[in-house]
Amino acid sequence: MISKSQHGLKFFFLNLGHFLDHFFVLIFATSAALMLTLEWNIDYAALIPYATPGFIAFGLFSIPAGWLADRWSCDGMMVIFFIGIGASSVFAGFANNPLQISISLVLVGIFAAIYHPVGLAMVVEDRRNTGIPIAINGVFGNLGVACAALVTGFLIDIWGWRSAFVVPGLLSVFTGILYWWFFLSTTSFDSPDQKTKGSIKGIGTSSELIGKNVVWVFSIILVTTAIGGFVFQSTTFSLPKILNERMPELAGTATMVGWYAFLVFSFAALAQLVVGYLVDHYSIRTVFSFIAILQTIFFAIMISMVGFSALVVATAFMLVVFGQIPINDVLVGRVAPAAWRSRAYAVRSALTFTVMASTLPLVGWIYGTRGFSALFAILSCAALVIFVAVLTLPKSAKFIKKPETVAI
Average pLDDT (74-87) is: 91
Range of the domain at 12: 7-405
Is there a domain that residue 269 lies in?
Answer: yes
Confidence bin at 21 (pLDDT 50/70/90): very high
Tell me the helices (H) and strands (E) count for the chain, helix number first: 18, 0
pLDDT computed for residue 73 by the predictor = 80
What percent of the chain has pLDDT above 90? 21
Angle CA 57–355–352, to nearest 5 = 80
Is there a domain that residue 158 lies in?
Answer: yes
pLDDT computed for residue 212 by the predictor = 59
Average pLDDT (119-142) is: 77
Confidence bin at 190 (pLDDT 50/70/90): low
Is there a domain that residue 1 lies in?
Answer: no
pLDDT computed for residue 399 by the predictor = 57
358: buried, middle or exposed (CB in 10 Å: 19+, 13-18, 0-12)? middle
Residue 171: other Cβ atoms inside 10 A = 14
Number of domains composing the chain: 1
CATH value at residue 18: 1.20.1250.20
Q: Choose from 169-173, 230-234, 301-305 the range with maximum mean pLDDT.
A: 169-173
Angle CA 43–30–300, to nearest 5 = 85
pLDDT computed for residue 88 by the predictor = 95
pLDDT computed for residue 365 by the predictor = 85
Chain segment 137-170, per-residue pLDDT in tens: 888 887 887 788 778 888 888 888 889 899 999 9
Three-state secondary-structure class, residue 54: helix
Average pLDDT (329-342) is: 70
Contact (Cβ atoms closer than 8 angstroms) between residue 104 and residue 120: no
Give rounded-to-5 percent helix, strand, coil for the chain. Answer: 85, 0, 15
Is there a domain that residue 2 lies in?
Answer: no
Average pLDDT (254-264) is: 76
Chain length of the chain? 408
Is there a domain that residue 384 lies in?
Answer: yes
Is there a domain that residue 316 lies in?
Answer: yes
Residue 358 in this model has a pLDDT that exceeds 80:
no
More confident site: 402 or 332? 332
